[in-house]
Structure 1
């Protein structure tokens, strides 16, 4: 079988954990992901590298403009940034999955559907945020708490239809040119739902309780975590290797961590602020005002005795050493920070990030979210000074999440299905 880890580390690492769990049951498993994440493929897992590097795309000038362009610009950017690379990526995915007897694929890109149409291969959908229609809350891409039960449920169809309206032509061009398939006549997400394709939700019911109106083929398994000691992918650049987390060793960060109180982590994943220098200055000023040390990732910050700068590191290993985490609210980062049992300060950009920020606050694991557009040294410092009052609930939730076995639950369901 094949497990598709499409995207950056936060997308790939849970898929690597799932692949390793399946291999441990004796299945032949291929993890399909960007080449830089080869070291995440565990014992018994075959790795099929993709030449499209998500971090290189995000780090390019065009990619940074795309990620900083807001929700509408982000969707439009799929045609200018993603489509030129998508033909290569889909071709490589196709080659890696041609002989698979089961494909586990994220909903984004509808790759499971395309491979099924090409080969007849059964597939299961991997969800990292709640995407099944429900009356309990609106689609996570809708930046409000509720639209009322009928409006909440209707919001899922609205988001899917708008997304398909924008991306249908691109998707069908790629289906024809790369896979030799005819066009899809409607949203693949709606087709998957009508076919009752089994869905595995890689988040915890303690974080998002399973809505009562979800159908039986949608399963909330808990987070998919790699075994201890297998957290860190070996980065390819020398600069990244200087501060990487390697197994149980945090390398060059260890001396900094032991030199004073636990620091605060600040990093926004692949999100790029429209004014990175200004945001970096506000972050450093906030750390100073809150009188805390910092570990900063992805911002143009000058390191000193109280601030360290890191490249790509294993968040689950690093967060265990932090006093609090300031992040963008990505699904993977939020799950990792909550599992670490420390307070979260979510500075959301768009997409599902405001949803996760609201969940963190509702769980009592962090203050109300601070949208990145409103980030200032005063606002961030105030939240950092308040994190102590969230620590008890954050620690309690972390203890419960750490005993969940999402990988086992997911593998059990795959076997039963």
Structure 2
């Protein structure tokens, strides 16, 4: 099988988990990923899709408006390289099934050219329409009977990149610009039903598998991180790839609130979303760019984060309550959803993040601890990767 993914670490790790499970069961699996993905790919047959999303975000930011402004110089060329590499690498591998992220828009065409099925992975549930909630990242409030209409926006992404898709697919035999592509054999949604129950109006081809967790275990922690974890109660804060706004102000708010509540702070700077002002340095704060979240979350009192789907699931699996500071895309959706399910404080939009608001959110989140632990136990019993692999192998 060929697995194609694109985006940040949260988009890569689920695919790496699926590739590792497939290989462990004797199946040939090749994983195509962005450059500098930030995920553990050890032992995997992995190739590059020739685009560095970390560099893209570093130069043009995470906002869709800045992405539009930088389309000609950064976003467009990066997408063209990725779409073309996906076709080239898949043709070279000649798999019997293609499993792909929705951003890899050339995957259906190359699967059709090879005469094999393709399976789409909705790391965020934005492709399969439902009346139960609007497409995450399209609108931020429930539209009732009109929710299904919001999914047309996400399905229209291919039109924006139509010429890039056609250029990349020129490598395919018998490709014409007006070629119709087959529908996915299945849609895999690597989300826990503990966080998002399966909508009643989804078709049978949509599989809510549970979260995809890599059972290989996290790599060893740095000794300095280990010493910090053993020093007493702490909160973990990360904003992942979200680098817009003022990272120093956010870091200041997190550390001040943690200290006011007798907590130490593990501050993960990620791709630049958090930073520590010099005046707040101390033994009760440990700053590092990244750590395996699975290894540091089980001992945390709570987690302050941006609400990306990958982080949401990792925190929930650890049984830790959330304070979600959403920036964009699906993050407000997850903030609302986890708050409704009693796992998180009401979300604090990043433009409104202050010490006062974060203090209130921390108090509310701590009250969610018992529910978070119970839900974490249920998520740890799920077999999302195996369920997904069984669906792929049946296609």
- Measured after TM superposition, the shift of residue 174 of structure 1 is 4.5
Among 347, 356, 364, the residue aligned to 1:369: 347
- Measured after TM superposition, the shift of residue 42 of structure 1 is 5.5
Matched residue, 1:3 = 3
Distance 1:351 1:77 in 2: 18
- Measured after TM superposition, the shift of residue 83 of structure 1 is 1.5
Distance 1:117 1:76 in 2: 34
User: CA offsets per residue over residues 136-157 of structure 1, 9 Å max, x none?
Assistant: 11111234331012x0111111
Structure 2 contact 118–184 (Cα < 8 Å) conserved: no
Distance 2:367 2:325 in 1: 19
Among 270, 283, 304, the residue aligned to 1:305: 283
Matched residue, 1:47 = 46
Matched residue, 2:337 = 359
- Measured after TM superposition, the shift of residue 283 of structure 1 is 2.7
1:28 corresponds to 2:3: no
- Measured after TM superposition, the shift of residue 275 of structure 1 is 2.3
Paired residues for 1:240-389 under 5 Å: 246-247=219-220, 249-261=221-233, 263-298=234-269, 299-301=274-276, 302=278, 303-389=281-367
Matched residue, 1:409 = 387
Distance 1:58 1:196, change over 3 A: closer
CA RMSD in angstroms, aligned pairs only: 2.4
Distance 1:309 1:357 in 2: 25
User: CA offsets per residue over residues 365-405 of structure 1, 9 Å max, x none?
Assistant: 11111111111111112211332210000000000000101
* TM-score, length basis structure 1: 0.85
Give 3-state SS (helix, strand or coil) of 1:414's partner.
helix
Matched residue, 2:177 = 183
Distance 1:48 1:169, change over 3 A: closer
1:124 corresponds to 2:104: no
Give 3-state SS (helix, strand or coil) of 1:40's partner.
coil
1:216 corresponds to 2:204: yes
Distance 1:307 1:182 in 2: 58
Matched residue, 1:56 = 55
Distance 2:136 2:376 in 1: 23
User: CA offsets per residue over residues 226-261 of structure 1, 9 Å max, x none?
Assistant: 1142x3xxxxxxxxxxxxxx33x3532111111222
Structure 1 contact 341–396 (Cα < 8 Å) conserved: yes
Among 109, 112, 121, the residue aligned to 1:114: 109
User: CA offsets per residue over residues 121-169 of structure 1, 9 Å max, x none?
Assistant: 42110111212101111111234331012x01111114433x4454444
Which runs of 4 or more aligned residues in structure 1 lie more than 6 Å from their structure 2 counterparts after TM superposition? none
Matched residue, 1:13 = 13
Distance 2:286 2:243 in 1: 19
Structure 2 contact 305–324 (Cα < 8 Å) conserved: yes
User: CA offsets per residue over residues 317-363 of structure 1, 9 Å max, x none?
Assistant: 22123111111111111011111100111100111111111111011
Give 3-state SS (helix, strand or coil) of 2:46's partner.
strand
Higher helix share: 1
Deviates more, 1:219-228 or 1:74-83: 74-83
Distance 1:72 1:58 in 2: 12
The runs of 5 or more residues in structure 2 that have no matched partner are: none
Matched residue, 1:236 = none
| Count of aligned positions | 384
Matched residue, 2:150 = 155
- Measured after TM superposition, the shift of residue 175 of structure 1 is 4.2
Structure 1 contact 266–325 (Cα < 8 Å) conserved: yes
Distance 1:8 1:411 in 2: 22
Matched residue, 1:92 = 85
Matched residue, 1:235 = none
- Measured after TM superposition, the shift of residue 205 of structure 1 is 1.5
Give 3-state SS (helix, strand or coil) of 1:57's partner.
helix
- Measured after TM superposition, the shift of residue 79 of structure 1 is 4.6
Structure 2 contact 10–311 (Cα < 8 Å) conserved: yes
Give 3-state SS (helix, strand or coil) of 1:274's partner.
coil
Distance 1:145 1:155 in 2: 11
* TM-score, length basis structure 2: 0.89
- Measured after TM superposition, the shift of residue 225 of structure 1 is 0.8
Distance 1:366 1:25, change over 3 A: same
User: CA offsets per residue over residues 46-74 of structure 1, 9 Å max, x none?
Assistant: 12234433223333xx23xx32xx34434
